[in-house]
Amino acid sequence: MNETLEEMARAIFKSWFVDFDPVRAKAVVRREHPDWTNAQVSRAACPNLKPEIAELFPDRLVDSELGGIPEGWEVQSFTDDVEVIGGGTPRTSNPEYWGGDIPWFSVVDTPADGEVFVIYTEKNITQDGVDNSSTCVLPVGTTIISARGTVGNIALVGVPMAMNQSCYGLHDLRGHNGYFLYFATAAVVETLRHRTHGSVFNTITRDTLKSVRVVAPPNALIVEFECIIGAMLQRILSALHESRTLAALRDALLPKLISGEIRVKDAERFLKERGL
């Protein structure tokens, strides 16, 4: 289910912000009906979109340094509206910095295909570990991208967490909830891969991210996009939390069942008491 939901969200992002399908459809209708209003063109060209969304798309493409882009949209650096946040590692020799309740992301914690969010990490640190290193606690909705070693892995922060220095956190400065930026980051990774002509790029720097030119849609359209896919991604996040809860129950109950410490009926009562 998670993979299907992510594929749906990616398809919408690609249609709207990469292929510009609504713009191209409106351009065709506009050529056929030059005297129609924007509302009329929108209804005819984009019957599957809500009218208020379809009307946000222009009805023609214009030339730019990136080729044809929707009229009124801008070309800018990827980082123009993005805060790039560095990570860090608390001293491993100090046990007071480790084993706390703050997840600490490294590339091994990258979510599997379709999971999008990271809600659990192999290692946790303490608040003292955060205070005495260059890492910081990232809020939910931050995109993490691995920048060294295994490069180009991305994840959405599902619970507040810190990260190591091999990653960057990306925070949308426009006030959006981070979903658009997550998919935009995935598109940037593809751009960087094409730029290297199929070879593996081994590092991403702040300058690397700044050098990527992207098409910036209007904020109103980003808001509508995030409203649509927000429900999809929240279902993914809820499923991940539920799966983790069930896995914890399995790990707690299975050894007791195998050893005979508790019986099946006891396990059933245990689950009912927790509403499962």
CA 60 – CA 42 distance, rounded (Å): 12
Residue 266: its pLDDT value, please? Answer: 62
Q: How far is CA 202 from CA 147, 158, 181, 205, in A?
A: 8, 27, 22, 10
Contact 106, 123 (CB under 8 A): yes
Residue 237: the pLDDT is 83
Cα–Cα distance for residue pair 57/274, rounded to 1 Å:
48
With H, G, I as helix, E, B as strand and everything else as coil, classify residue 163.
strand
pLDDT at 272: 64
DSSP secondary-structure letter at 153? Answer: -
| Residue 276: per-residue pLDDT | 55
**pLDDT in the model for residue 264:** 64
**189: nearest Cα among 176, 170, 164, 217:** 170
CATH code of the region 80-218: 3.90.220.20
Note the pLDDT tens digit of each residue in 178-187: 999 999 999 9
Residue ranges of domains in the chain:
2-74, 80-218
- Give the other-Cβ count within 10 Å of 91's Cβ: 12
The DSSP bridge pattern shows strands 82-86 and 167-172 to be antiparallel
Q: Which residues pair with 62 in a beta bridge?
A: 69
- CA distances 228 to 5, 17, 223, Å, are 12, 14, 9
Cα end-to-end span (Å), the chain: 20
Q: For residue 172, report the phi and psi dihedrals to the nearest 5 degrees.
A: -75, 120
Determine the pLDDT at residue 57.
98
Dihedral sign, Cα of residue 18, residue 19, residue 25, residue 28: positive
Is residue 212 packed enough to be buried (19+ CB in 10 Å), middle (13-18) or exposed (0-12)?
A: middle
> What does the pLDDT read at residue 199?
53
Q: List 85's β-bridge partners, or say none.
A: 169
- Give the chain's residues under pLDDT 70: 196-201, 244-253, 256-257, 262-276
